[in-house]
Structure 1
Amino acid sequence: MIGTKRVRFQPMAEGASVTQLELFFDLVLVFAFTMVTALAAGDTSAKNILRALLVLAVMWWVWIAYAWIGNVVRADEGITRVAMFFAMGGAFLAALTIPEAFDDMAGGWFGPLVFAIAYLLVRVVHLGVFLLASAEDAQLRGQVVRWGLGSITIGTTLLVIAAMTDGAVQIGLWIAAIVGDMLWTMLAGEDWRLNSATHFAERHGLIIIVALGESIVSIGIGVAGLPISWPIALASMLGLAVSGLLWWAYFDVAALSVEHELKRAEGERQIKIARNCYTYWHFPMVVGIIALSLGLKKVLYYVGDSAHHTLKDALYGIPLFALYGGVVIYLLALVGFKHYATRTITVPRVVAAALLLALTPLASALPALASLVMLCVVLIGLILWETVRYARPRDEIRHGTHAG
């Protein structure tokens, strides 16, 4: 690419890594995840948890859109760089408005409409960049046009309409916007381009780290302003251990296995792995981690706030199901993620998820700290079993014949 065209776009090269600008873009998602956790923690009713999930889905779709465009053209070059900063502005404004995404607060702008318009801005900028970037690629241009016509119409228009409603109608429109957008993306075709499998896998691995980082932040927020004590120290270390074990479950083998398959695949099969394993299966992983964040935040509050709780108090209701259920969702999503690419089911993770579900009633009868201990013990057992039982294939995937 020469002349003025180089100023406009630079294709992402095979084997390229994530750019620094994309990492900067992710800082907005760090803030958005924190806001979603705060929204859920503020009111743990089923209605509010559903709202938090819907907001998370919208912010996920913001991130996904720019993960794909960043794999076609470099995010830090030419027009794309400018577009990324505009998108960051829109995404940050949407994240700031998360507390008002459904109900407007007194004073200021009308929150629900601000959120919807900010999201619309992010999506329009993304579509515009994709159309310009595909100007000389008829196949990609056709795919972008097909996808854009339905996605923008469904995913953004319905949210703008939802901003003018309330109650069940509003929730219904949000669900229709998100589900419709995801279904349209799946049905719009497989004529996308994947210029760098390495970049794509690394990009999604980093968002898992971002989400896990939120779980660690939640530990600190849960005891903010409280004097350090042995229950706080122990609960904090256990929470950090749980987050670390989830990191291990993703990065030790699963992520590498799928990345190898993504690199080997060609054509439509490669696009399907990229879309289904990363765009779709990563979303429930993030949901699980954010749910865990809510549970950890509540556990730390229970063990640290001696004025309102004792160490004998049990975690119950939605916070307990967030703690255990979040890990269950994460593990099952990891199984689905790996299965689609490799056609193998990681049975120990299914067993661990089933065991955690079975232990949830017992956890509701135990002190909150004991429930966290039990969760940590199950995850340690899972990781130890996999490390020992699958030592040889694990070594091959990490260091041997599968590498590359």
Structure 2
Amino acid sequence: MKKIATIIFVLLFTIPISAFVMSISKDTTVAEEKAEEYFQTAGNNKAAHTKEDGTTYNICYVDIDPYPPSGEMLYYLLQEINDMGWMNIEHFDKLPFDPQDTDAGALIDYLAQQGTGDYISFSKKYNYYIALDNPQTVKKEIEEGIKEGEIDLILCLGTSPGKLIIQEMGIEDVPVMVYYSVDPVSAGLSQKQEYSGQDNVWCHTSSQVYKNQLSFYHDAYSFQKLGMVYYDESIAARDIYGETAKALGVEIAEQKIETISGQNSEEEYYNNLKNAYKQLVEEEHIDAFLLNTDMIKDSERMDELLSVFIKADIPVFVQNGQTFVKNGALMLMAASDAVSQAPFAADAFARILSGESPGDIYQKFVPSPYVSINLDTANQIGYEVPDDIILLSEQIYGGSGERE
């Protein structure tokens, strides 16, 4: 209600950005209502329970690498699962983790060690970062875990983990949830937005937000040449952004690099990333930059990397992750809202453990527009933030102080 009230208030005074956001909000509300209607009418009891033999459901966690926005998504999902009674953690918000800067793997390890109650359990063994762990070892352990009955559900955060489990391994014997994937349909993980088309697979979908996002950024700052660096087209929503840019009459200057792997060390990765950033600024002469998902994985490197653009007075817009705005990016019109999406995904989680087929569970949920702005960065690059964006923003960094 806070977001809708703010947008209505701004509409009384400003056009066109606020009118654009209201149109997004209208579409989003319809999507949210459809999702809510499904979950209100769908059948099974979601109350926490053990397996038939009285033991806990064992959850296997598969992620890409340590990445603050991914950790944030996992944190709020688990908090919601805990609130639903599937875990027994009395003060979840007192755990030694910052929601906006959480190492997801460390959180899973912590819960595995501390214990989560009678209904679900996590394991230090079945907890993977596929960019850092040996892929063959991951596959072998998961296959053996399923065979031995030690894995009851695989929770994948991101497109690459989903591809590993669904496409490369062809897992069909246990339920698979894919959360925080940019576009599961384009990635081939789900046949449609509403339902996966696979009995054991559920994917959260909301790809239309990336079209709205880029249009919003262009309305806010009329750039003509947008820079992008990514390692995977589907994770970067490359096709969606490309189509939107074409409609806006905007050119995209892009570079694809290798992500961190056994052949590409962390230091090599960040050297390549910084060089790609410099090339876009110095040779391609971009006038805006879009920071794509899962590119700056180490929060301690944000200042150094974002400064490449700030020193050149180039605004940095963010695909996913409010933490980047806090650390110097100009703006985020959120495509993924960890807090508002958590109940939707947690509901699917509970339904799956209650016996529903993942392929029968509705999976489209589009979060309401959520804008974050860094006024100090705006001042550094000489950008005068329109009043309507300030009024629309639910998180403001810098200036006269943070507002939430």
Length-normalised TM-score, structure 2: 0.24
Higher strand share: 2
Structure showing greater relative contact order (alpha-carbon pairs closer than 8 Å, 6 or more residues apart): 2
Q: Relative to total residues, which structure has the larger helix share, 1 or 2?
A: 1
| TM-score, normalised via structure 1 length | 0.24
